[in-house]
């Protein structure tokens, strides 16, 4: 294990009864990246995160966070990792001020001035009870608690669910500004593709517990294409035998070819057949996501 | 398994403070009323026709104020109320975090499961003991204020047994709080076990096994001697139950 | 200057940035000596990854369009380096490809597309 990766899992698996919630997960998250962990609801995102934090024990396989074995060194992991868990759980009966005081006593490296700086950004009412906060404010408070100890790695589980677009932008901007800009790593699960598309530089897609793909976002957009072809004659089906071609739709002389790598090679091959049009279509993350998860899913596009 | 987190202890204290205040008030009121009612009760009881056995016992108890207080405090009011307080104090220790879904928040801090278990256990136990000791002191104080002469060492001799018994019941409730992850179920399960534990006290030879026999402590009532051996046995049992709870907590998925 | 990032486009965000800054420079909106927002400022404003902004700036620097002055920010360079005809054609081809692919999504026929382009070109000449 090297210092290059802040999260590394090998064969990580969690079985609940008959269900393989996480199935042989091999994941590597590079230091300094913003990793978007995508998948429909129930795909295994939260279970993976809980295993990384030592809340849930892996059935088999191993996981290291900041080089530390999550089974043995989970307390040390949590000392150095900031977390905003799903739905930002907090103690409802506490006030905002009490919550900060509570966190200051439990967190590894608390700094009141830094906390105050974040309180200024979000302007939360100090004396309000947590139960009276809006969902957005709750998420912001949880983020303040996670950011104040200046973690090397920030793990966010569906951080912006239930936030309006303005709050979502503010939330993500703060994360990027406070973590990424000073060299930290962000690992965020989400099923809101648009936000991941905006901020992530690496994307992993998980479905039914299996990691289907991990790619650099730019590379993803540059290599995952659809090619529309209108041949002049019906081609030999062997023309589509190419490692870069993931799938072919259509028949006769019109086809849509999905390409996942070596676009130039594919184009060159298609051009050998007389054609009217060969046309490259860019795919956005949503389309790529559908590609991998089979289209039907609990994905919400916002 | 025995780590302690003062940060968590603060939170626990603030969450159980109302339980502590209310149970202390209930016990204190009971204690004061025992002192105040002494005259009335003895008159009342001696006018009612009773079987010979009870009559002798009551006459013996009533003859001495300290003995009267002991019999009605340790052997009756305190152990019954303390049982309920002990079960209530333990029921939500871990279950409360699960049902409020705050366990993942709590465990996002660098806090080991052992620290979580021991801190929660200890805070609840100490609160329970403070309530019992505090109410007993109120009882003694009010007797002094009422101008009675009390045999303080005799009246304090019942405390260790009560504290150990309460710790035992509290530990049971704490264990079920971990196992069931549900406060109400934990209360029900530990309540049923506590009732089942009362059964042996109805049969002569098995009496010694019952936690309630220890808490009501008839031996000390008569001799004035603390039953150290049985007290320590129940304290040790409490620790064993705690260890089981902590072991279970260590292996839970949240 | 104002940037418009379309995250859900199939074009990587850093390319969108590079394209818009290049256009602003060639179009005279940004002049030599003008200061660009810092990586952090721009990332915060657009809610995009600072690494993405840094990548765009790096590319622009490599193309000689901007220059990072140590400690004081990033500036548009005094001279716009002349691109060779080859390079200009390459850039043009890339832009056209991206553009055509975007317009195709709208479901426009090639004929309509050509009409639009002619119209734009006509407007520029007039």
SS (H, E, C) chain B: CCCCCHHHHHHHHHHHHHHHHHHHHHHHHHHHHHHHCHHHHHHHHHHCCCCHHHHHHHHHHHHCHHHHHHHHHHHHHHHHHHHHHHHHHHHCCCHHHHHCCCHHHHCCCCCCHHHHHHHHHHHHHHHHHHHHHHHHHHHHHHHHHCCCCCCHHHHHCCHHHHHHHHHHHHHHHHHHHHHHCCHHHHHHHHHHHHHHHHHHHHCCHHHHHCHHHHHHCHHHHHHCCCCHHHHHHHHHHHHHHHHHHHHHHHHCCC
On chain C, the residues whose CB falls within 8 A of the CB of A281 are: 10, 101, 104-105
Residue ranges of alpha helices (H) inside chain C are 13-26, 39-46, 50-62, 85-105, 110-125
- Of the pLDDT bands very low, low, confident and very high (cuts 50, 70, 90), residue A298 is very low
Q: Which of A58-62, A256-260, B221-225, C33-37 has the highest mean pLDDT?
A: A58-62
Among A102, A104, A144, the residue to mutate for chain B (most B Cβ within 10 A): A102
- B107 reaches A (C-beta below 8 A): yes
Give the pLDDT score at C9: 78
Distance CA A295, CA A289 (A): 8
CATH number of C13-120: 1.10.10.10
- Across the interface, whether the CB atoms of C7 and A286 are under 8 A apart is answered no
Mean pLDDT computed over every residue of chain B: 90
C54 within 8 A of C39, measured Cβ to Cβ = yes
Domain ranges of chain C: 13-120
pLDDT over 90 at A13, yes or no: yes
Verdict on whether the full-model pTM lies above 0.80: yes
Dump pLDDT digits (tens) for B216-244. 877 888 888 888 999 999 999 999 999 99
Burial string for B132-147 (b: 16+ CB within 10 Å, else e) reads beebbebbbebbeeee
Asked if A83 and A155 count as a contact pair (C-beta separation under 8 A), the reply is yes
Residues of chain C with Cβ-Cβ distance to A285 below 8 Å are: 8
Query: Looking at the partner chain, which of C11, C49, C101 has a beta carbon nearest the beta carbon of A180?
Result: C49
- Residue written as token pair 């998860």: A293
CB nearest A222 (choices: C12, C52, C104):
C12
Contact (CB, 8 A) for A259 and A288: no
> Over the stretch B14-34, which tens digit does the pLDDT of each residue have?
999 999 999 999 999 999 999
According to the model, what pLDDT value does residue A253 have? Answer: 87
Write out the residues of chain C at the interface with chain A, using a CB-CB cutoff of 8 A.
5, 7-15, 39-40, 43-45, 47-52, 55, 97-98, 100-102, 104-105
How do residues B178-196 score in pLDDT, each as one tens digit? Answer: 999 999 999 999 999 988 8
- pLDDT of residue C80 exceeding 80, the answer is no
Considering only CB atoms, which chain A residues are within 8 Å of C8?
193-194, 197, 284-286
Q: Residues B117-130: what's their mean pLDDT?
A: 97
Phi, psi of A176 (to 5 degrees): -65, -40
Calculate helix-pair angle for B79-91, B6-36, nearest 10 degrees.
160
Task: Tell me the CB-side half-sphere exposure of residue A199, using CA atoms within 13 A.
Answer: 33
pLDDT at A225: 84
Inter-chain CB proximity B102 and A106 less than 8 Å: no
CB pair distance less than 8 Å for C7 and A197: yes
Q: Which residues of A136-162 are buried (b: 16+ CB within 10 A; e: fewer)?
A: bbbbbbbbbbbbbbbbbbbbbbbbbbe
Residues C39, A218: C-beta atoms closer than 8 Å: no
Tell me the torsion sign for CA atoms A27, A191, A171, A76. negative
Given CB atoms, is A276 within the 8 Å cutoff of chain C?
Answer: no
Residue A300 has pLDDT above 70, yes or no: no
- Examine the pLDDT at A296 and tell me if it is beyond 60: no
Query: What gap in Å lies between CA B229 and CA C121, rounded to an integer?
Result: 102
Q: What is the pLDDT of residues B51-89, one digit of tens each?
A: 777 777 777 777 788 888 998 899 889 989 999 999 999
Chains B and C touch (3+ CB pairs under 8 A): no
């Amino acid at each position: 294990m090297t210092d290059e990766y802040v999260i590394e899992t090998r064969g990580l698996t969690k079985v609940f009864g008959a269900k393989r919630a996480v199935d042989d997960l091999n994941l590597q998250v590079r230091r300094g990246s913003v990793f978007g962990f995508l998948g429909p609801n129930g795909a295994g995102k939260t279970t993976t995160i809980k295993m990384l934090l030592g809340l849930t024990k892996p059935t088999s396989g191993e996981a290291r966070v900041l080089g530390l074995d999550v089974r043995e060194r989970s307390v040390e992991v949590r000392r150095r990792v900031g977390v905003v868990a799903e739905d930002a759980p907090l103690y409802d009966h506490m006030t905002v001020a009490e919550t900060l005081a509570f966190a200051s006593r439990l967190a590894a490296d608390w700094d009141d001035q830094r906390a105050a700086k974040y309180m200024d950004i979000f302007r939360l009412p100090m004396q309000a009870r947590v139960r009276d906060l809006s969902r957005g404010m709750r998420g912001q408070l949880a983020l303040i608690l996670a950011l104040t100890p200046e973690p090397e790695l920030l793990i966010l589980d569906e951080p912006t669910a239930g936030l309006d677009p303005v709050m979502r932008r503010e939330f993500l901007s703060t994360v990027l500004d406070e973590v990424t800009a000073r060299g930290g790593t962000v690992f965020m699960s989400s099923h809101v593709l648009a936000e991941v598309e905006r901020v992530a530089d690496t994307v992993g897609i998980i479905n039914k517990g299996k990691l289907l793909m991990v790619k650099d976002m730019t590379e993803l957009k540059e290599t995952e294409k659809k090619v529309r072809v209108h041949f002049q004659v019906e081609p030999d089906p062997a023309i589509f035998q190419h490692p870069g071609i993931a799938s072919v739709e259509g028949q006769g002389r019109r086809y849509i070819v999905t390409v996942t790598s070596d676009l130039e090679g594919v184009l060159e091959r298609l051009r050998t057949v007389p054609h009217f049009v060969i046309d490259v279509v860019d795919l956005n993350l949503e389309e790529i996501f559908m590609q991998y998860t089979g289209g039907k899913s609990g994905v919400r596009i916002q | 398994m025995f780590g302690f987190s003062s940060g968590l202890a603060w939170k626990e204290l603030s969450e159980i403070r109302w339980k502590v205040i209310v149970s202390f008030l209930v016990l204190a009121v009971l204690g004061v009323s025992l002192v105040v009612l002494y005259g009335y009760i003895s008159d009342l009881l001696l006018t009612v026709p009773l079987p010979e056995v009870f009559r002798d016992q009551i006459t013996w108890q009533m003859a001495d104020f300290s003995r009267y207080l002991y019999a009605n405090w340790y052997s009756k009011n305190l152990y019954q109320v303390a049982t309920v307080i002990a079960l209530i104090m333990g029921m939500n220790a871990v279950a409360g975090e699960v049902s409020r879904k705050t366990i993942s928040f709590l465990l996002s801090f660098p806090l080991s499961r052992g620290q979580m278990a021991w801190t929660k256990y200890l805070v609840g136990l100490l609160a329970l003991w403070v309530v019992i000791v505090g109410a007993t002191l109120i009882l003694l104080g009010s007797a002094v204020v009422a101008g009675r002469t009390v045999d303080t060492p005799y009246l304090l001799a019942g405390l260790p047994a009560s504290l150990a018994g309460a710790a035992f019941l509290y530990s049971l409730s704490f264990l079920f709080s971990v196992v069931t992850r549900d406060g109400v179920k934990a209360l029900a399960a530990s309540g049923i076990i506590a009732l089942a534990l009362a059964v042996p006290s109805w049969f002569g030879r098995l009496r010694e096994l019952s936690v309630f026999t220890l808490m009501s402590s008839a031996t000390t009532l008569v001799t004035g001697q603390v039953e150290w051996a049985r007290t320590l046995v129940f304290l040790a049992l409490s620790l064993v139950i705690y260890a089981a709870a902590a072991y279970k907590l260590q292996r839970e998925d949240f | 200057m104002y940037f418009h990032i379309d995250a859900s486009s199939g074009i990587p965000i850093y390319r969108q940035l590079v394209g818009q800054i290049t256009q602003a420079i060639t179009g005279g909106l940004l002049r030599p000596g003008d200061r660009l927002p810092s990586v952090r400022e721009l990332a915060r404003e657009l809610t995009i990854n600072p690494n993405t902004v840094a990548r765009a700036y790096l590319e622009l620097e490599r193309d000689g369009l901007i220059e990072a002055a140590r400690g004081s920010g990033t500036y548009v360079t005094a001279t716009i380096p002349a691109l060779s005809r080859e390079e200009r054609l390459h850039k043009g081809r890339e832009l056209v490809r991206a553009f055509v692919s975007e317009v195709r999504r709208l479901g426009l026929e090639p004929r309509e597309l050509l009409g639009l382009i002619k119209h734009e070109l006509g407007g520029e000449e007039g």
